[in-house]
């Protein structure tokens, strides 16, 4: 590269173009000083803490979902009690919403269509801790985001059916495997009071179980912590073979 000689006695003339004036202006330099020393460090700190939160919260949630899913499929969650076949109408014993999985005592058949009727025997409440008033009153259809409390958002990744309502009613066929049916219930008024109805068609023969959608922890002994600690309510399931 050829050197350019300049007479040392010649006065130095500053550039006068627009770019130079912009870069040497006070507001421009102040902006980049704030960006470098205040804004970017804050952004990097937020991203760092967000990354730590993801690792410490969502990774355990994924592990919990995987371990609970395996235990559920292998038959460690729903306890088989034996069921009876029925030709017309069958009714379960009352099941508790605080139970992680309840047997209806009924056997369903592959390919048959069943009408499900659920009658609430005692009020369904989520967040009903012993000795503490309050909680969210609901029914077998469950409740969505409008009733969800702030702390409950932390439980969403741990919810059994993550994208379905809290407390929505789910039927399971067999204590092992993966067949579960989320019921899309409709409210009906009858002479015996309000019932909630839907239909479903089993994909295999088996004992029928029922549970409500809530958060679980994928560790033996505390699978059902969020069920037994703050759920209240009971209901009866009646099946009618179509």
Calculate ∠ Cα 238-210-119, nearest 5°. 40
pLDDT of residue 13: 57
For the chain, which domains are there?
A: 72-241 (2.60.120.430)
Instruction: Identify the DSSP state of 159.
Output: B
Instruction: Identify the DSSP state of 57.
Output: I
pLDDT of residue 49: 75
pLDDT of residue 239: 97
What pTM did the predictor assign?
0.80
pLDDT of residue 91: 95
pLDDT of residue 11: 58
Half-sphere exposure at residue 58, Cβ-oriented, CA atoms within 13 angstroms:
6
pLDDT of residue 3: 54
pLDDT of residue 22: 65
pLDDT digits (tens, 9 = 90+) for 139-150: 999 999 999 998
What φ, ψ does residue 73 adopt, rounded to 5°? -65, -30
pLDDT digits (tens, 9 = 90+) for 93-129: 999 999 999 999 999 999 999 999 999 999 999 987 6
pLDDT of residue 31: 78
pLDDT of residue 228: 94
- DSSP E strand boundaries for the chain: 89-91, 95-96, 102-108, 114-126, 136-138, 169-173, 180-182, 186-190, 193-200, 206-212, 231-241
pLDDT along the chain (242 residues), means of 10: 55 63 72 75 77 80 95 96 89 96 96 97 86 81 94 93 96 97 96 94 97 96 95 96 92
Instruction: Count CB-CB contacts under 10 A for residue 206.
Output: 20
CA distances from 58 to 64, 65, 160, 164, 224 (A): 10, 10, 15, 19, 20
Tell me whether strands 193-200 and 89-91 are parallel, antiparallel or unpaired: unpaired
């Amino acid at each position: 590269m050829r050197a350019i000689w300049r007479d040392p006695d010649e006065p130095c003339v500053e550039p006068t173009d627009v770019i130079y004036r912009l870069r040497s202006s006070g507001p421009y330099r102040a902006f980049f000083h704030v960006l470098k020393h205040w804004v970017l460090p804050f952004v990097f700190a937020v991203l760092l803490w967000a990354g730590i939160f993801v690792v410490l919260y969502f990774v355990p949630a994924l592990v919990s979902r995987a371990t609970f899913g395996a235990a559920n499929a292998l038959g460690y969650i729903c306890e088989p009690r034996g069921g009876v076949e029925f030709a017309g109408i069958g009714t379960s014993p009352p099941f508790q919403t605080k139970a992680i999985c309840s047997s209806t005592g009924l056997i369903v058949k592959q390919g048959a269509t069943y009408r499900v009727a659920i009658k609430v025997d005692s009020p369904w409440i989520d967040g009903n801790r012993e000795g503490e008033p309050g909680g969210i009153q609901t029914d077998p259809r469950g409740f969505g985001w409008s009733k969800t409390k702030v702390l409950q958002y932390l439980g969403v990744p741990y919810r059994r059916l993550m994208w379905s309502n809290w407390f929505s009613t789910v039927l399971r066929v067999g204590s092992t495997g993966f067949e579960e049916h989320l019921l899309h219930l409709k409210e009906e008024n009858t002479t015996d009071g309000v019932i909630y109805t839907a239909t479903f068609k089993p994909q295999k023969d088996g004992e029928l179980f029922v549970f409500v959608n809530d958060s679980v922890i994928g560790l033996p002994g505390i699978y059902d912590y969020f069920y037994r600690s703050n759920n209240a309510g009971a209901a009866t399931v009646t099946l009618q073979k179509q």
